Each structure stands twice: as structure tokens, then as C-alpha cells.
């Protein structure tokens, strides 16, 4: 890409402080940027880099004050991070996209492939599968019998989608993800465990992104479902019959046990665990490595195991840190 700060300001509704005609050719973090790069400051703790960065231009908030001399041109916008994301999407959309069917692939008889789709080498498309317009299926992906994939969805290399599952439009499923494997259902019987057939499916709504090596298990019966706009990071486990609502974000290594119901707009940090058969409301924030053993309401900030209010968790940590000193004082008084 090649653009000027003035051109970027016109695209983003920003204002330029500095050289409007400088040439921008790429993106970089502010501490690593070089001449020609565009960077950004969204977190105040990075503001000091404005005095040392070699970036040609930096996206900043409209109230940003460099508090001293800086060499970079400033582009002041309402939300630097959101603006950067939009610019990156624009650049990504300009990249050439693969189209057509490579060889060798297997496409079952009767499966229609729209002309603008891409099927990479060694991909497998099962009987009765239905693909929307502009679907991209990268090499070595498996699309099982009866799978439905919506328009503009991207299935990255090595993804496995078991039979009968439904994927919405504009989804992205990253390499190594498995959609529709059997749920972990076994019945104890005379000292051993017998498998319970998992006869349901997985339904993923529009605009969902699923990270690399994440697994979403099919339901015992009915469906495991993920709502519109929800984003799952890498290495997440979603068990059978889980229902996840809209616009949630889950960080890496979170595990969700069977039949959990999660609402909308929740933000779940890494390595959280959810016990089975509980309900989580809407717009909660749950800190890293938290354990959720029972149902949770809405609009709470939780942390720890068992998870408690984040402020109470912080107080508890102070108490724990001082336990040794308190016991020493107690024993002294007792003597």
C-alpha cells in the first residue's frame, strides 16, 4: 500500500497534525516502527513511545497531547484501535483471493460448487454438502456429508467439519479446528463405560470466528450452537449441547462443559473453566483462570476459583499474602 496522512484522514474522518504529504507504506507496532510505517496509540501506557518512535505517522485519539516534541505525524481520530482495525480490513480486502478448484480434490457427486468458490488441493467435500457463494475451503479440509456452509465463509487448511453441521455466512474457521466431533458421553455399566451415541449436530451462526485447534462437539441430540458474532480463540473446548449467544469473546484454553447456556456479550479471559449444566447471563467479564462452578447472572466482573466479584478477589489476595504475618502475630498474642 502507499498512502499519505491526508489520504488516511479523509478515509477515517481524522485530522492531521504534521506532514500531510508523507508516504505511508505499511503498519507496525509503535516501538518497532520504521520510516514509512503507520502505528497507533490506544493504551496510555504506550504514549511515551511518541517521542522515540520512527513511525512516519501515528493514529491517536482526538484529545491526545504528545506533551513535547515528536517526529511522527499525528492522525487524530475518535478511536485509534477501531480505526486501525478498519484500515487493516481494507488492506486485507485488496489482496488477491484464490478462486477455482485445485487438483486433486474429492467432491461428491451432485454437490454444486458456485463459480466464485475456492477448493484447495486434497480437500474433501461429502455427499449432500451445500456451499454458498464465495466460500473458500483451503487444502486438506474435510467437509462431511450434509454440511451447509454460508456465503463468504473461509475454512482454513486442515479443518474438519463432521456430517450434518451448519456453518453460517462470513465465518472464519482456522486450521486444525474440529466442528462436530462426538460429545464426551459415556454411561457407567458394571465397572466400565459404554458410549452414548451422539446424534445431534453443531450450528454456527453468521460472523463467527473459531481459532486454530478449537473443538466444538456435536450434541447428544438436538444441537450445540454458537450465536452470531461470537469469537473463539485457539485451543478452546466447547462440549456437547452447549448454547452460546451472540457477540461473546472467549480467550485461549477456555473449557466449557456439556449443556452450559451462555448469554450475549460476555468477555471470557484465558483458561477459564465452566462446570456443566449451568447458565451464564449477559455482559459479564470473567478474569483469566477463573472457575465457574455454578450459574452466574448478568453484568458481573468475576475472578478466581470459585469465581467471586473481582474486587473481592483482589481483597482476598491481599489477605492471603498477609496470612503468615497474621498467624505469627496471633501466636505471639496467644503465648
Question: What grid cell was written down for 244?
Answer: 452460546
Q: Which of these is catalytic: 48, 51, 166, 240?
A: 240
- Measuring CA to CA, which residue among 244, 294, 251 is closest to residue 265? 244
Quick count: other Cβ atoms within 10 Å of Cβ 167?
28
Q: Is 240 a catalytic residue?
A: yes
Using DSSP, state whether 29 is helix, strand or coil.
Answer: coil
CB-based contacts of 275-282 (< 8 A; 24+ apart in sequence): 276/239, 282/245
Rounded Cα distance between 114 and 211, Å, is: 26
Q: Any idea which residue has 456479550 for its cell?
A: 265
Give the contacts of 315 (CB within 8 A, at least 6 positions apart): none
Cα separation of 218 and 127, whole Å? 19
* Number of C-beta neighbours around residue 115 at 10 A: 8
- All three cell numbers of 57: 505517522
Residue 241 DSSP code: T
Cα radius of gyration (the chain): 25
Burial class (CB in 10 A: 0-12, 13-18, 19+), 104: exposed
| Nine cell digits for residue 262 | 451462555
**Nearest by Cα to 86 from 38, 152, 151:** 38
Q: Provide the annotated active-site residues.
A: 240
Amino acid at each position: 500500500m502507499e498512502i499519505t496522512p491526508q489520504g488516511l484522514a479523509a478515509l477515517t474522518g481524522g485530522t492531521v497534525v504534521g506532514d500531510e504529504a508523507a508516504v505511508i507504506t505499511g503498519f507496525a507496532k509503535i516501538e518497532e516502527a520504521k520510516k514509512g510505517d503507520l502505528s497507533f496509540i490506544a493504551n496510555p501506557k504506550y504514549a511515551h513511545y511518541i517521542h522515540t518512535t520512527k513511525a512516519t505517522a501515528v493514529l491517536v485519539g482526538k484529545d491526545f497531547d504528545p506533551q513535547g516534541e515528536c517526529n511522527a505525524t499525528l492522525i487524530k481520530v475518535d478511536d485509534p484501535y477501531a480505526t486501525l482495525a478498519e484500515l487493516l480490513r481494507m488492506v486485507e480486502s485488496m489482496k488477491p483471493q484464490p478462486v477455482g478448484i485445485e487438483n486433486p480434490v474429492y467432491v461428491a457427486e451432485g454437490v454444486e460448487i458456485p463459480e466464485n468458490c475456492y477448493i484447495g488441493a486434497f480437500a474433501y467435500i461429502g455427499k449432500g454438502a451445500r456451499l454458498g457463494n464465495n466460500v473458500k475451503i483451503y487444502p486438506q479440509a474435510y467437509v462431511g456429508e450434509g454440511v451447509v456452509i454460508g456465503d463468504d465463509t473461509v475454512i482454513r487448511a486442515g479443518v474438519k467439519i463432521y456430517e450434518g453441521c451448519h456453518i453460517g455466512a462470513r465465518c472464519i474457521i482456522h486450521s486444525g479446528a474440529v466442528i462436530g466431533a462426538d460429545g464426551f458421553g459415556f454411561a457407567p455399566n458394571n465397572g466400565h463405560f459404554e458410549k452414548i451415541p451422539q446424534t445431534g449436530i453443531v450450528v454456527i451462526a453468521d460472523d463467527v470466528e473459531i481459532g486454530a485447534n478449537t473443538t466444538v462437539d456435536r450434541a447428544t441430540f438436538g444441537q450445540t450452537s454458537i450465536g452470531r458474532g461470537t469469537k473463539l480463540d485457539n485451543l478452546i473446548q466447547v462440549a456437547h449441547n452447549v448454547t452460546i449467544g451472540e457477540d461473546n469473546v472467549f480467550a485461549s484454553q477456555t473449557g466449557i462443559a456439556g449443556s452450559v447456556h451462555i448469554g450475549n456479550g460476555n468477555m471470557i479471559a484465558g483458561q477459564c473453566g465452566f462446570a456443566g449444566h449451568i447458565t451464564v447471563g449477559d455482559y459479564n467479564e470473567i478474569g483469566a483462570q477463573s472457575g465457574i462452578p455454578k450459574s452466574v447472572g448478568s453484568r458481573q466482573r468475576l475472578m478466581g476459583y470459585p469465581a467471586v466479584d473481582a474486587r473481592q478477589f483482589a481483597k482476598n489476595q491481599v489477605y492471603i499474602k498477609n496470612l503468615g504475618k497474621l498467624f505469627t502475630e496471633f501466636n505471639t498474642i496467644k503465648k
